[in-house]
Amino acid sequence: MLDLNKEDGGQRRFILAEQMDYVETVTVKRVQKVIRNHKSDASFIYCELMKHNEEAINKIESAKSTDALLKIWKEMVEHYFLNYDVDIKKFNDNHDAFKELSLDKQKKVLAEMLNKNQLYVNLSEIDDSQFKVSKEDKELNKNFYK
C-alpha cells in the first residue's frame, strides 16, 4: 500500500498488484519515482503471495528428465491441487505412453493437470497446517485486511 499526502492534508492510498517477477527491478523503482515526484514523505511495502501450485509449475519447468517429472507427478498427487477431471489412475497406468513424449510435451501435460485457480495460497486457507504459513505472515494478512 502506498500513501501519498494530498494537498488538503488527507492521504491517498494505493494498492498495487503485480504478477511478474520484476517487482524489485521495475515496480519498486517506479513507486519510488512517484514518491519523489510528489515530494512526499510517503512510504510503501510490498509482499509476495505465498506460492502453492505455482511452486509445482516452477519445479516442472526446471526438471531435466522424465524421471524428475515423474517424481514431481507423485508430489502433485500428494500435495498440490489437480484439475477436477484429472484421472490419477489412468495417468499412473500409462507411464510408458508418457515416457514416449518429448520432455517439453511431458512438462506441458503435467502443468495442464494443475488447477490454475490454486497457484497461490488463499487467505481462507492460511490456517491450514499443510501450507505452513508462519505466525508473522498470518498477522500481516490480518492487519492488511482490517
**Per-residue model confidence as pLDDT tens digits over 16-46:** 777 777 888 888 888 888 888 877 777 777 7
Question: How long is the chain?
Answer: 146
C-alpha–C-alpha distance, residues 83 and 91, integer Å: 13
pLDDT in the model for residue 107: 98
Contact between residue 113 and residue 83 where contact means Cβ atoms under 8 Å apart: yes
Q: pLDDT tens digits, residue range 71-102?
A: 999 999 999 999 999 999 999 999 999 999 99
pTM over 0.85: no
Q: Where are the domains of the chain?
A: 2-37, 49-146
Higher pLDDT, 50 or 69: 69
Confidence tier at 106 by pLDDT (50, 70, 90) = very high
